[in-house]
């Protein structure tokens, strides 16, 4: 309130009062909009303010979506200096709306890529300060009580024992989940990739609408397994929850980012915050138990706690195929909407057909039947069928429906209804086939 | 009676003061409700690519299976939630208002608590208690070998919503019961009615406005609520669909706003229907001498039964709060009926910052509550006592606020007020008073319904008497109407205050700095990490205690007022 305005006034007066030679030294208040929790922001704020005397970091917590909307709505009279969040797609949206400021960090020792993913935005609008890998987290008590296996690979989650025990965030709400899906689609190809995703999704208990909903449910023991980003599991372990985590052999590494907002009121201080995050001191803060992100400067791993994963050396974190950022960006909205229409909002029918397939497989394992196998194969193909192929998904007519393009064309709701109807129909047919096969196998 | 009412209505035509009042309220609603909302949802009426007016998006709505399914699901859940909430609220309201019952104030307060479920942390506590692997189901599974799916699918939503919102019925029905003149009851008794017949034919019908006010609130609130369905991962309902679409980044799709329009229309229709249901009848009773219904002594066996029923209901509806309390003292609570061990460390962690949050919450919520009862009373008066053209439009506009998703209002406020600069260049939207206004608008329907019901029960002949004795309209309102409405106004204040204290969706958009943040924002910040769960729960407990203390205080004030009124006679 008045406090704040006084602070601004003070900042301005200081800026104008001192000789120009010193005007570059950062002072005053720097405002950051972030999706990070207190556990992350508090230690970094403390370290930053200690390293940069005279600057205070004002943290505004908003979830990523709300943060993007906020910057968009307030751009006419922007009061925010920095945007700080994980999901690269949020930064892409901001960049496309010209809401970010170009900057070239001075920090040294940071390589161009982590895994296969470029650390910084190639055009220089946002910068990776940490990385995280995707993996599987599970609740030990839950798994023990229900006598369930411990997973190692993504494929494990698609097998029968995991039915109704797994949870994941929807990619339309979690930028990092989106990247994982996109990595599967690029690695395995459009059709096979969706097959893998749907086989796994058939075992889902829930598809949550926020990233933290998954570790929260695993921590409570509401679900057994969760597809999560590593630090959710590490920080849960650090707080004492009975959870375990594994990186599958092929996983994605995704950077967490920071950017200067266009027309930032305190640009000098904003730059100093980015430089701090990328400096060795700032990178080392990431080792704190409540943060547990992977630094992007390979040198600081020398000071890492024992058993800390190192994405620059660990082969599991480098196994990912080359990631085509451009391809991912073009079809971003389409992939998210597809997932929601054929998985999130069709979960009941998808699960029903998956269950029928699991049961038939169990029966076939006891007594084989060639005709039943053939039917089961058809059932799988029915589930795997996609309402759109890869070319159509990236075509302008399709993507235009999701990005509010000025051209006339199909509306999002129209396409979504088509996809949902397609998925529902195919799941019902698959279930019928699997049940027919079950009768033969018995 | 209806005849005299109609006749007297025409006599009470509008004075210039009333016209000014109506215009003032209309301006307030236009500025802080209609305009900000319109800036956001006009997209629903535009064609893709050309921005020309169209209704094709609404055609898409009815052509999409998901939306149609969501609509009927929302409708079914809301109706069933009203039924279940009534089952919980009726016994509590009846027993505590009709009988001399020890601890009535305590029960009224406790029965009110479920309304205050802090965001996020309340959900976690609820899952830990009632969830698939919550305390109850783990114990059931251990001892009896089966589980009950309390929190699965639509039935889960009905269960949680009924527990969460039944206080709306409780508080309004109780206020209604207190407003009935004991002379009516005595007359019925003299004519030979007693027991359940007396309740069914005389007492309940007279308290109908209170019940309808509460039930319509429950219906609309459940229809528009998105937190509970999302917590239970039920996405095929309207409000979650609107929320998911409005808040997805990078996607510019009108459907989220189309759903918002549908929500608003459905809510206004429900409120209008409830007004219609109570319009033809006169609920007012004239004599206020007795100060409400006579309270009867309970016979011993009745007493046992009453206590058993009350205890059972309270145990059920307060279980989430018990869970919350346990969570705030728990070290680790995971897949077990009870936490592993206990600690006070979480309270220590929040000790420093919570005082600021508490102060902000108290200031924001009480200011919002105050604005709400003033405007609520004024609208109720204009609708029920004047014949101004467009008076019901005020009622409907204010009620529509219930249906506007918080996030839409939040974005609307940024759009409408961020461009407005103060003398030193700070945007108007960054002032904390904007949060207060947003809260007041969002909680206005609660206060409005309570005030409306209270005024419905006051006979207009009292005002006519006062005016015949020479009192001006303003003086009549001040000395006769408002004092008689006190119970309803306080009920309205408490509901608005309490629910504003835990509001998050609009707040999250509007909070500009930590020093302006209310409790719910602090809670949100904690609840985004594993280590923040305990401190978040501790903050939640503080929020609940804070609101409970304020509720008890206002109940005591009501009781004092009653006692004072009775002693004067």
Ramachandran bin of B358, using left for φ above 0, alpha for ψ from -120 to 50, beta for the remaining angles? alpha
- Model confidence pLDDT, tens digit, residues B243-286: 888 877 666 778 888 998 998 888 888 888 887 887 767 777 66
Position A373 pLDDT exceeds 70: yes
B164 touches chain A (CB under 8 A): no
SS3 A23: coil
C-beta of residue B108 within 8 angstroms of C-beta of residue B96: yes
Selected residue with higher pLDDT from B89 and B297: B89
Reference A133, options A17, A292, A278; nearest CA is A292
A13, A108: one domain: yes
Give the DSSP letter string of B365-410.
HHHHHHHHHHHHHHHHHHHHH---TTHHHHHHHHHHGGGS-HHHHH
Interface contact B255-A412, CB threshold 8 A: yes
Question: Best mutation site among A3, A72, A177, A222 for testing chain B: the one with the most B CBs within 10 Å?
Answer: A222
Query: What are the angstrom distances between the C-alpha of B427 and each of A76, B56, B369, B422, B512?
Result: 10, 37, 25, 6, 11
A399, A436: one domain: yes
Q: What is the pLDDT of residue A434?
A: 94
Interface contact A239-B530, CB threshold 8 A: yes
pLDDT-derived band at A41, boundaries 50, 70, 90: very high
- Pick the residue from chain A with its C-alpha nearest to B243: A209
Q: Which of A9, A60, A239 minimises the CB distance to B513?
A: A60
Q: Which long-range contacts (CB under 8 A, 24 or more apart) does B3-10 make?
A: B4/B461, B5/B282, B5/B284, B5/B460, B8/B460, B8/B461, B8/B464, B9/B385, B9/B387, B9/B460, B10/B387
List all residues 6 or more positions away from B24 whose beta carbon is below 8 Å from its beta carbon: none
Interface contact B48-A411, CB threshold 8 A: yes
Selected residue with higher pLDDT from B463 and A227: A227
CA distance B557 to B109: 13
A307, A358: one domain: no
Q: Which of residues 29-68 of B touch A (CB under 8 A)?
A: 48-50, 56-57, 60-61, 63-66
Q: Quote the minimal CA–CA distance from B60 to chain A in Å.
A: 6
- Cα B365 to chain centroid distance, Å, stands at 13
Q: Which domain holds residue A49?
A: 2-132+255-318
Q: Which of residues 364-393 of A touch B (CB under 8 A)?
A: none
Q: Which of residues 285-304 of B touch A (CB under 8 A)?
A: none
Interface contact A90-B249, CB threshold 8 A: yes
Interface contact B48-A409, CB threshold 8 A: yes
Calculate mean pLDDT across residues B186-197. Answer: 79
Strands A225-229 and A166-169 turn out to be: parallel
Calculate mean pLDDT across residues A203-214. Answer: 91
A205, A351: one domain: yes
B311 touches chain A (CB under 8 A): no
A99, A237: one domain: no
- Collect all residues of chain A within an 8 Å Cβ-Cβ radius of residue B151: none
Q: Which of B132, B133, B249 minimises the CB distance to A93?
A: B249
> b/e for B481-497, b at 16 or more Cβ within 10 A?
bbebbbbbbbbbbbbbb
Report the number of distinct structural domains present in chain A: 2
Query: Residue ranges of the alpha helices (H) in B111-152?
Result: 121-130, 135-143
Q: Which of A68, A74, A417 minimises the CB distance to B64?
A: A417
- Pick the residue from chain B with its C-alpha nearest to A399: B251
Site of tokens 């205690």: B545
Q: Which of residues 57-76 of A touch B (CB under 8 A)?
A: 58-66, 68-70, 73-74, 76
CA distance A79 to A92: 21
Position B12 pLDDT exceeds 60: no
- Pick the residue from chain B with its C-alpha nearest to A241: B332
Strands A82-85 and A113-114 turn out to be: unpaired
A185, A269: one domain: no
CATH number assigned to the domain comprising residue A154: 3.40.190.10
A46, A123: one domain: yes
Report the mean per-residue pLDDT for chain B. Answer: 84
Q: Which of residues 393-412 of B touch A (CB under 8 A)?
A: 407, 411
- Pick the residue from chain B with its C-alpha nearest to A233: B530
Calculate mean pLDDT across residues B61-83. Answer: 94
Domain boundaries, chain B: 16-37+54-336+348-568
C-beta of residue B317 within 8 angstroms of C-beta of residue B111: yes
Q: Which of A77, A241, A337 minimises the CB distance to B334?
A: A241
Ramachandran angles phi, psi of B454, nearest 5°? -65, -40
Interface contact B509-A69, CB threshold 8 A: yes
Q: What is the pLDDT of residue B471?
A: 86
Interface contact A222-B230, CB threshold 8 A: no
CA distance A294 to A305: 12
Q: What is the pLDDT of residue B86?
A: 95
Among A252-256, B344-348, B351-355, B420-424, name the most confident range.
Answer: B344-348
A437, A330: one domain: yes
- Model confidence pLDDT, tens digit, residues A393-410: 998 888 888 876 666 677
Query: How is residue B13 written in tokens?
Result: 């035509």
pTM: 0.86
- Model confidence pLDDT, tens digit, residues A111-137: 988 877 789 998 999 999 998 888 999
pLDDT-derived band at B360, boundaries 50, 70, 90: very high
Q: Which of residues 245-304 of A touch B (CB under 8 A)?
A: 290
- Pick the residue from chain A with its C-alpha nearest to B513: A60
- Collect all residues of chain B within an 8 Å Cβ-Cβ radius of residue A235: 529-531
Least confident of A20-29, A278-287, B71-80, B218-227: A20-29
For B16-37+54-336+348-568, CATH gives: 1.10.3720.10
Site of tokens 């893998």: A196
Query: How is residue B446 written in tokens?
Result: 């609660």
A418 touches chain B (CB under 8 A): no
% of chain A beyond a pLDDT of 70? 92
CA distance A50 to B330: 34
- Collect all residues of chain A within an 8 Å Cβ-Cβ radius of residue B526: 37-38
Q: What is the pLDDT of residue B231?
A: 77
Calculate mean pLDDT across residues B212-234. Answer: 86
C-beta of residue A82 within 8 angstroms of C-beta of residue A31: yes
A247, A363: one domain: yes
Question: Best mutation site among A3, A9, A38 for testing chain B: the one with the most B CBs within 10 Å?
Answer: A38
CA distance A210 to B524: 13
CA distance A146 to A148: 6
Q: What is the pLDDT of residue B440?
A: 95
Residue where one domain finishes, among candidates A292, A318, A344: A318
- Model confidence pLDDT, tens digit, residues B470-512: 888 888 888 888 888 888 888 888 889 988 988 887 888 788 8
Position A5 pLDDT exceeds 60: no
Strands A28-34 and A55-61 turn out to be: parallel
- Collect all residues of chain B within an 8 Å Cβ-Cβ radius of residue A332: 250
Q: Quote the minimal CA–CA distance from B263 to chain A in Å.
A: 18
Q: What is the pLDDT of residue A398?
A: 87
CA distance B433 to A286: 37
B333 touches chain A (CB under 8 A): yes
For chains A and B, what is the number of CB pairs under 8 angstroms?
212
B73 touches chain A (CB under 8 A): no
Position A360 pLDDT exceeds 90: yes
Position A248 pLDDT exceeds 90: no
Query: What are the angstrom distances between the C-alpha of B568 and each of A39, A412, B457?
Result: 59, 68, 22
Q: Which residues is A85 bridged to in the sheet?
A: A257
CA distance A212 to A171: 13
Task: Say which DSSP state B31 is in.
Answer: I
For residue A377, count other CB atoms closer than 10 A to its CB: 12
CA distance B457 to A354: 58
pLDDT-derived band at B192, boundaries 50, 70, 90: confident
Q: Quote the minimal CA–CA distance from A374 to chain B in Å.
A: 32
Q: What is the pLDDT of residue A406?
A: 62
Calculate mean pLDDT across residues B401-408. Answer: 83
Q: What is the pLDDT of residue A320?
A: 61
Report the mean per-residue pLDDT for chain A. Answer: 87
- Model confidence pLDDT, tens digit, residues B73-85: 999 999 999 999 9
Calculate mean pLDDT across residues B43-65. Answer: 86
Q: What is the pLDDT of residue A354?
A: 96
List all residues 6 or more positions away from A117 whose beta carbon is below 8 Å from its beta carbon: A131, A252, A253, A254, A255, A320, A323, A325
SS3 string, B492-526, reads HHHHHHHHHHCCCHHHHHHCCCHHHCCHHHHHHHH
Reference B292, options B100, B98, B101, B479; nearest CA is B98
- Model confidence pLDDT, tens digit, residues A269-291: 999 999 999 999 999 999 988 88
pLDDT-derived band at B287, boundaries 50, 70, 90: low
List all residues 6 or more positions away from B384 whose beta carbon is below 8 Å from its beta carbon: B452, B455, B456
Q: What is the maximal distance between C-alpha atoms in chain B?
A: 75
A248, A349: one domain: yes
List all residues 6 or more positions away from B530 whose beta carbon is below 8 Å from its beta carbon: A215, A219, A232, A235, A236, A238, A239, A241
A262, A310: one domain: yes
Q: Which long-range contacts (CB under 8 A, 24 or more apart) does A148-154 make?
A: A148/A224, A150/A244, A150/A246, A151/A225, A151/A246, A152/A246, A152/A248, A152/A249, A153/A248, A153/A249, A154/A184, A154/A196, A154/A200, A154/A248, A154/A250
pLDDT-derived band at B4, boundaries 50, 70, 90: very low
A187, A310: one domain: no
Q: Quote the minimal CA–CA distance from B446 to chain A in Å.
A: 27
- Model confidence pLDDT, tens digit, residues B230-254: 878 888 999 889 888 887 766 677 8
Position A24 pLDDT exceeds 70: no
Residue where one domain finishes, among candidates A297, A318, A339: A318
A206 touches chain B (CB under 8 A): yes
Residue where one domain finishes, among candidates A276, A303, A318: A318
Calculate mean pLDDT across residues B190-202. Answer: 78
Q: Which of B65, B248, B414 minimises the CB distance to A417?
A: B65
Position A1 pLDDT exceeds 80: no
Query: What are the angstrom distances between the C-alpha of B32 and each of A148, B200, B510?
Result: 55, 43, 14
- Collect all residues of chain B within an 8 Å Cβ-Cβ radius of residue A65: 247-249
Q: Which residues is A118 bridged to in the sheet?
A: A113
CA distance A414 to A99: 31
Selected residue with higher pLDDT from B289 and B95: B95
Question: Best mutation site among A40, A212, A221 for testing chain B: the one with the most B CBs within 10 Å?
Answer: A221
Q: What is the pLDDT of residue B204?
A: 79
């Amino acid at each position: 309130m008045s406090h704040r305005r006084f602070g601004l006034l003070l900042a301005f007066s200081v800026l104008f009062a001192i000789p120009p030679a010193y005007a570059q030294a950062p002072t005053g208040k720097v405002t950051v909009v972030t999706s990070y929790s207190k556990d992350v922001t508090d230690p970094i704020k403390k370290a930053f303010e200690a390293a940069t005397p005279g600057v205070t970091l004002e943290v505004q917590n908003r979830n990523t979506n709300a943060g993007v909307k906020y910057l968009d709505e307030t751009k006419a009279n922007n009061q925010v200096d920095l945007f700080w969040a994980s999901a690269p797609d949020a930064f892409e949206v901001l960049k496309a709306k010209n809401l970010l400021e170009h900057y070239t960090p001075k920090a040294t020792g940071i390589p161009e890529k982590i895994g296969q993913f470029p650390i910084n935005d190639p055009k220089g609008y946002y910068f990776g300060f940490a990385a995280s890998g995707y993996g599987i987290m599970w609740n030990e008590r839950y798994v023990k009580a229900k006598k369930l296996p411990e997973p190692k690979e993504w494929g494990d989650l698609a097998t029968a024992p995991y039915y109704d025990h797994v949870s994941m965030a929807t990619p339309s709400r979690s930028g990092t989940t989106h990247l994982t899906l996109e990595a599967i689609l690029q690695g395995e190809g459009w059709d096979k990739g969706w097959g893998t995703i749907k086989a796994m999704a058939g075992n889902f208990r829930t598809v949550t609408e926020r990233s933290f909903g998954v570790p929260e449910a695993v921590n409570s023991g509401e679900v057994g397994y969760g597809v999560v980003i590593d630090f959710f599991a590490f920080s849960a372990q650090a707080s004492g929850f009975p959870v375990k985590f594994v990186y599958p052999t092929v996983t994605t590494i995704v950077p967490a980012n920071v950017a200067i907002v266009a027309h930032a009121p305190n640009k000098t201080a904003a730059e100093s915050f980015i430089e701090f995050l990328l400096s060795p001191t700032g990178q080392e803060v990431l080792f704190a138990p409540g943060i547990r992100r992977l630094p992007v400067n390979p040198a600081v791993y020398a000071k890492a706690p024992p058993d800390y994963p190192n994405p620059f050396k660990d082969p599991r974190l480098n196994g990912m195929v080359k990631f085509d950022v451009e391809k991912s960006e073009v079809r971003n909205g389409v992939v998210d909407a597809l997932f929601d229409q054929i998985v999130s909002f069709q979960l009941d029918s998808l699960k029903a057909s998956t269950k029928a397939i699991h049961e038939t497989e169990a029966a076939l394992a006891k007594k084989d039947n060639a005709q039943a196998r053939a039917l089961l194969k058809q059932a799988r193909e029915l589930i795997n069928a996609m309402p759109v192929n890869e070319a159509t998904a990236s075509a302008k007519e399709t993507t235009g429906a999701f990005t509010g393009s000025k051209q006339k064309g199909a509306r999002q709701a129209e396409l979504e209804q088509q996809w949902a109807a397609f998925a529902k129909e195919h799941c019902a047919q698959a279930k019928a086939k699997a049940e027919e096969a079950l009768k033969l196998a018995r | 009676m209806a005849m005299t009412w109609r006749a007297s209505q025409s006599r009470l035509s509008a004075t210039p003061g009333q016209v000014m009042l109506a215009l003032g309220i209309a301006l307030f609603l236009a500025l802080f409700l209609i305009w900000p909302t319109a800036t956001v949802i006009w997209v629903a009426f535009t064609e893709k690519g050309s921005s020309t007016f169209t209704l094709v998006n609404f055609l898409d709505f009815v052509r999409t299976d998901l939306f149609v399914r969501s609509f009927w699901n929302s409708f079914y859940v809301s109706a069933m939630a009203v039924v279940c909430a009534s089952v919980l609220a009726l016994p509590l309201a009846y027993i505590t208002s009709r009988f001399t019952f020890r601890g009535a104030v305590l029960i009224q307060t406790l029965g009110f608590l479920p309304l205050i479920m802090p965001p996020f942390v309340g959900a976690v506590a609820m899952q830990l208690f009632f969830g698939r692997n919550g305390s109850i189901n783990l114990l059931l599974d251990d001892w009896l070998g089966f589980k009950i799916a309390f929190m699965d699918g639509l039935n889960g939503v009905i269960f949680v919503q009924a527990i969460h919102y039944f206080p709306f019925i409780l508080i309004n029905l109780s206020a209604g019961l207190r407003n009935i003149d004991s002379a009516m009851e005595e007359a019925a008794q003299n004519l030979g009615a007693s027991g359940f017949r007396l309740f069914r034919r005389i007492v309940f019908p007279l308290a109908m406005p209170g019940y309808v006010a509460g039930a319509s609130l429950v219906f609309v609130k459940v229809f528009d609520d998105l937190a509970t369905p999302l917590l239970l991962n039920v996405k095929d309902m309207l409000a979650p669909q609107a929320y998911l679409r409005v808040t997805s980044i990078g996607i510019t799709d009108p459907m989220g706003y189309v759903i918002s329009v549908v929500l608003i229309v459905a809510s206004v229709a429900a409120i209008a229907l409830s007004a219609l249901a109570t319009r033809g009848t006169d609920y007012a009773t004239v004599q206020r001498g007795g100060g409400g219904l006579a309270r009867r002594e309970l016979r011993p066996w009745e007493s046992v039964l009453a206590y058993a029923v009350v205890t059972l209901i309270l145990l059920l509806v307060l279980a989430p709060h018990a869970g919350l309390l346990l969570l705030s003292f728990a070290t680790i609570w995971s897949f077990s009926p009870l936490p592993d061990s206990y600690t006070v460390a979480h309270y220590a962690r929040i000790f420093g910052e919570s005082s600021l949050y508490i102060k902000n919450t108290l200031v924001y919520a009480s200011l919002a509550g105050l604005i709400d009862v003033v405007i609520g009373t004024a609208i109720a008066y204009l609708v029920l006592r004047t014949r101004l053209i467009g008076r019901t439009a005020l009622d409907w506009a204010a009620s529509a606020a219930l249906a506007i998703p918080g996030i839409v209002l939040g974005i609307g406020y940024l759009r409408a007020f961020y461009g407005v600069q103060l003398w030193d260049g700070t945007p108007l939207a960054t002032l904390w008073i904007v949060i207060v206004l947003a809260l007041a608008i969002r909680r206005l329907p609660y206060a409005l319904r309570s005030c409306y019901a209270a005024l419905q029960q006051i006979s207009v002949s009292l005002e006519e008497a006062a005016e015949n004795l020479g009192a001006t309209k303003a003086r009549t309102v001040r000395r006769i109407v408002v004092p008689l409405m006190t119970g309803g106004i306080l009920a309205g204040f408490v509901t608005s205050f309490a629910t504003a204290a835990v509001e998050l969706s609009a707040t999250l958009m509007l909070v500009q700095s930590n020093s302006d943040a209310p409790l719910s924002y602090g809670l949100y910040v904690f609840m985004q990490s594993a280590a923040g769960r305990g401190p978040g729960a501790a903050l939640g407990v503080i929020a609940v205690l804070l609101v409970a203390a304020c509720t008890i205080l206002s109940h005591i004030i009501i009781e004092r007022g009653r006692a004072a009124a009775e002693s004067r006679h």
